[in-house]
Amino acid sequence: SPAEDRRMLTSITLGVLGVGSISTEIARLSRAVGMTVWGLCRANKQSRPEFNRLTTVGNLSEFLAGCDYICNVLPSTTETQDLLSGDALSSCKSKSPVFINVGRGGIISEESLLAALENGWLRGAVLDVFKEEPLPVISPLWSHPKVTVTPHISGPSVAENIAEVFVRNYEKYVNKQSLDHVVNWEKGY
């Protein structure tokens, strides 16, 4: 019912898959409005003020079970492919969170996502990315009543911002300083 959908932000736990720069900003803004924010990372990390709790992929079931909303911001790597596929989201059945995917579509198969929605493991999904892009016209996600599809616009790039990063990195390069936003080829992002 509509009354059940109204909750104070302070009563919501947001689980963020990933703890990189984008995830950290999502966590910072969510904490600023009173939400409890959990972060899921590959390995143990020191606590960060943006997150109320950090845990590892080894605790995925417990992590998922405690979230009201789950936001995926993970990159596409061999470790993250199909991380939520199969019955991984069955851990969500008690809270039935909303899944928000602004990371990479390969984290979950379309079939697994649809099954999680149909089984009530998820209350809804907001999807900006998909395993196959563009999302095929025949995909049932387009018309599913519990799914909102956005056109891969969760992180738009603005020319001025790109230029600022380039200039800042150029100055660091010239001064033999560490660059920002360097890709780690071993990790895949």
Q: Cα(first)–Cα(last) distance of the chain, in Å?
A: 42
Q: Are 181 and 166 in contact (CB under 8 A)?
A: no
Q: Are 73 and 18 in contact (CB under 8 A)?
A: yes
- Whether residue 164 lies in the annotated active site: no
The answer to whether the peptide bond before residue 2 is cis (omega within 30 degrees of 0) is no
Q: Is 110 a catalytic residue?
A: no
Q: 118, 133, 164, 171: which one is catalytic?
A: 133
Residue 79 falls in the annotated catalytic set? no
Euclidean distance between CA atoms 108 and 117, whole angstroms: 13
Q: Determine whether 11 is exposed, middle or buried from the number of CB atoms within 10 Å of its CB (0-12, 13-18, 19+).
A: exposed
Contacts of 88 (CB under 8 A, 6+ apart): 60, 61, 64, 112
Out of 28, 42, 152, 168, the active site residue is 152
The set of catalytic residues is 104, 133, 152
